[in-house]
Structure 1
């Protein structure tokens, strides 16, 4: 990224800092709240593809998979730009990073990204019957990953201690709100809209199976060779070494990889290295209460 762009980004990060606001009682970066009308009135197109997740549930992984599916496995073309340039994050607003404005200027078909809970998604996505791929990750691993992400992401609030963050996350007092409300809301909508609901743990278990599922959903008939290419290029090790996917092109005043790398572990069950016994008991009690009746189940380990 050029120096002028970096300077503008630095000014914006320093100006916005870690200020937050609320939309319908949900915590968001203040910069998102400042342009909420523009975000909510975003005009989707019929051939858009939207990757939706709660933060740290495999968003970048799925972005790269979908991009390669759309490119029929052309790895060279997939390296054309950093992931955050290729795939506008529609509700983020740390200018000059791509968001609504850059999405509006993109040619179709567009690949877009959101962390919005279902009730806040711009209505045009449903009016245009856009295909959405929602990735859900088990709450415990999501919490751990989000904690470390907030530590290194200078445009989000400092998460405080692990103990403080544990309580905040469980109560939904983190940017983009409650994990419980998020995954359940999207789950309930999956049969009403064109939503493919994918589980992170399934992607870890058998990536080729899940990539094939996504390609079928997108009406792309890919050969086994192309599927293998996508599997290899979107493996954790490949993406961790890929500057177009690992956010290493961003300066440390935005993402400080010395605190925690953006791509940290990519495993199922890392929560066991963080949760105290008493925290696990508290979490499981809240989980049972919040998930009751949803018919939605996750695997916390493989």
Structure 2
């Protein structure tokens, strides 16, 4: 770990918690809890925690911060396009991961998993090099990147630099039941996560604060408390689905841009789920090429709301309502579609 100061304690899981998390067969290093709220990260996060917390924030930076599978990719592309004067050509020529790197991604790929992937690609020097880049910490690369920088993270605000809001931050929240379904499919599809349990077991981990980046509601509330800050824009995934042009205009206002109705309509076409599925710069084809993702899975899935109903039985539905009600009791945060 870096010799920079880090204000938060990082603790190992209890034996019982660690046992439940063994269902993530691709996470070979195990998990830890970070800070007073006990946010879940992998052991490898210890190597980067202080570097992230102490990283330089530039006023020209734009961060997309979300809990995982809350519309992150959708928002990244929207934000990048709005900030970069709708440069469709550049967006096609560079992958979203190049244009908008994922700050703590390397904590997800244990070094032994990298060795495994490289062995699978033995003899293919180009792919082995790409695997090395994908699985290495990106803090130095981010530090050396020219402005304006676009950065994605699933870390809660408290684990980011204290002056993060010197930059622009777009935070997106989504109904946790839909998050659970989407995240479940992602964790099954990514070899380096390798979720081997059923959906119900996955849901139990989410509501018991035992999944990556949980506690879920603390994550949201930290951002919600800052929603009036001029440098933070708080969005709901459901609003993006309901009225994408309005959200595009909000993002444009936030980033000091102005686009015509025709330009906004064209961007809406570009941002459709069907367009995303066909767009290699967005749909993470490189993960399949490198063996990080199962070949028959999709990174961009359905992108709809309410799909959780196909996965929840009556007991889980009641459990979800109780969990959400208890966690929203001490805040005025409300999901727009539930009001």
TM-score in same-fold range (> 0.5): yes
The 5 A counterparts of 1:219-234 are 219-234=256-271
1:108 equivalent among 147, 154, 165: 147
The 5 A counterparts of 1:1-302 are 17=28, 19-24=30-35, 25-93=38-106, 94=109, 96-97=133-134, 99-126=138-165, 129-156=166-193, 158=195, 160-192=197-229, 194-251=231-288, 253-258=291-296, 260-299=297-336
- Give CA deviations for 1:268-302 in whole Å, capped at 9, x if unaligned: 00000001111111111111111113111115689
1:178 deviates by 1.7
- 8 A contact 1:51–1:63 mirrored in 2: yes
Stretch moving more, 282-291 or 185-194: 185-194
1:244 deviates by 0.6
In 2, Cα distance between the equivalents of 1:175 and 1:157? 13
Stretch moving more, 165-174 or 187-196: 187-196
Q: Which runs of 5+ in 1 are unaligned?
A: 1-13
Question: Could you say what secondary structure the match of 1:79 adopts?
Answer: helix
1:33 deviates by 2.4
Pair member with larger Rg: 2
Q: CA RMSD in A?
A: 2.1
In 1, Cα distance between the equivalents of 2:211 and 2:278? 29
In 2, Cα distance between the equivalents of 1:115 and 1:293? 23
Q: How many residues align?
A: 286
Q: Which runs of 5+ in 2 are unaligned?
A: 1-24, 110-131
Question: Could you say what secondary structure the match of 1:196 adopts?
Answer: strand
User: Normalized against structure 1, the TM-score is what?
Assistant: 0.88
In 2, Cα distance between the equivalents of 1:123 and 1:154? 34
